[in-house]
Amino acid sequence: MARTDRLMRLMDLLRRLPAPVTAMRLAAETGVSPRQLYRDIATLRAGGALIDGEAGLGYTLTEDPALPPQSFSRLEIEALLLAVQALDRIGDGEMVEAGRAALARIVATLPGHQSQQALHAITHSFGPPPERDPPQVDLAILRDACWNEQAVRIGYTDLGGAVSRRVIWPLGLSYTDRSLMLLAMCRLRMDFRVFHVNRIHALAPAGESFRPRRAALMRDYRRSRARHGKGGG
């Protein structure tokens, strides 16, 4: 793990874990030795983070200078908590963890009384797990390809059982209770297609960029959808 990523993860852990957090726990979570953990704590302190505690006692983050003070209405706080809870139902562990980490950073900046409101929310989201087959490929690769506007090669089995290999420009992912869909520009068909992600059985970067066309393609897709309805892969 890169040093910057490790320090960010350490800050997230200090925000989220019940305080005080032992050095051994923090070292295990960030994948470093206790000695390196102590150096990382010193680095964060030198950067302005107020971290109470010491080796043998555990650590508590009392102020994070990277986060400016924020204020939300009570209803906004409830909405944020509800949205993160609802992530549990999409079946994407990385997305759930990212939502929880982001929420922890937000709550850490709230004034005292609003922080208490976040701890005693009255609105909750419950529901069954998604009824869909898990993906056969790494979603992180798809997300990165969408973000960075990079083409990928896929092996795909359509709903009729036909197998194909094609290069696509991935544009976005959509979650439903029964499916995870990938919107893309298919270079084989030279048209928009919506693929069932669980039917993608091979995935690799194609070494081709389509930057900066994603925004324009999304506009074209929305216009096409308004005229003709949804497409399928």
Q: If you average pLDDT over residues 58-84, what whole number do you get? A: 80
Using one digit for the tens of pLDDT, what is the confidence trace for 202-231? 999 999 999 999 999 999 999 888 877 554
* Mean pLDDT estimate for the chain: 87
pLDDT over 60 at 104, yes or no: yes
pLDDT over 60 at 23, yes or no: yes
Architecture of domain 139-228: Roll (2.30)
Name residue 212's amino acid: P
pLDDT over 80 at 55, yes or no: no
Report how far apart, in Å, the C-alpha atoms of 17 and of each of 130, 131, 158, 198 are: 28, 31, 44, 34
Architecture of domain 3-63: Orthogonal Bundle (1.10)
Task: Work out the percent of the chain whose per-residue pLDDT is above 90.
Answer: 48
Domain boundaries, the chain: 3-63, 74-119, 139-228
Q: If you average pLDDT over residues 19-35, what whole number do you get? A: 91
* pTM of the complete model beyond 0.85: no
Predicted local distance difference test score (pLDDT) of residue 137: 94
Q: If you average pLDDT over residues 189-208, what whole number do you get? A: 94
Q: If you average pLDDT over residues 20-46, what whole number do you get? A: 92
